[in-house]
Amino acid sequence: MMRTARLYLFIKEVCMLSRMDDVEARSIVVFLMIACMTATGCASAYKTVLPRPPDHYQKLGEARGNACGSMMILAPYNFIPVAELPFFGGDLNKRVENAYQNAIDSVPGATALLNVTMQENWFWWVLGSTKCVTITGEAIR
């Protein structure tokens, strides 16, 4: 929020120095802010969900894990992923990683999964939306 305010003041100052009137300066500020927001995004790291099975392994049974993450609507900050808040369900960018880990943890002694099924479900709660990933598979060690 502070950064946005500073950016606004900085751009306005530059526009004033170049002798633009207030309306022109404001239009440029709005345009630049929209351009910045449009360029906002995020990507998670790659997570291995189906490793190459080892030569010898023991099947332990079905594993299941779920993890969620949320995005809020509070414009213009609706692109901020809600991180680590229990009510909102966790980190949006780590939902696959967390779901896989939860699936591994659901079977004691498991080290990997075979025949992995991934499914996403989401729900909208007016101020934002939550995305959840469920991973199921055959636990092995």
Partner 1 sequence: MGARLDEMRNDHGGGDPMKKTLMQAALLALLAACAGCTGTPVTFKSTDVTYDPTKGRTVSGSACGFQLLLLIPIRINDRYERAYAELLNDAGPGYSVTDINVSERWKYGLVGTAYCTDLKATAYPQRTAVVN
Contact footprint for partner 1 (CB under 8 A)? 34, 37-38, 40-53, 71, 73, 78-79, 81, 92-93, 95-96, 114-124, 128-129, 131, 138
Closest to partner 1 by CB, 9 or 34: 34
Nearest-5° Cα angle at 13, 12 to 14: 90
- Taking every pair of C-alpha atoms in the chain, what is the biggest distance, in angstroms? 75
Q: Cα separation of 28 and 66, whole Å?
A: 44
Q: How far is the CB of 55 from partner 1 (least distance, A)?
A: 11
Q: With respect to partner 1, which residue has the nearer C-beta, 53 or 109?
A: 53
Q: Please calculate the CA angle 79-133-115 and round it to the nearest 5 degrees.
A: 145
Nearest approach, Cβ of residue 35 and partner 1 (Å)? 10
Shortest CB 17 distance to partner 1, Å: 29
Query: Shortest CA distance to 44 belongs to which of 85, 83, 76?
Result: 83
128-140, strands of its sheet edge to edge: 81-82, 59-72, 128-140
Q: Is 126 helix (H, G, I), strand (E, B) or coil?
A: coil
State the nearest-atom distance from the C-beta of 133 to partner 1, in Å: 8
Q: Which is nearer to partner 1, 81 or 90 (CB)?
A: 81
Instruction: Choose between 46 and 87: whose C-beta lies nearer to partner 1.
Output: 46
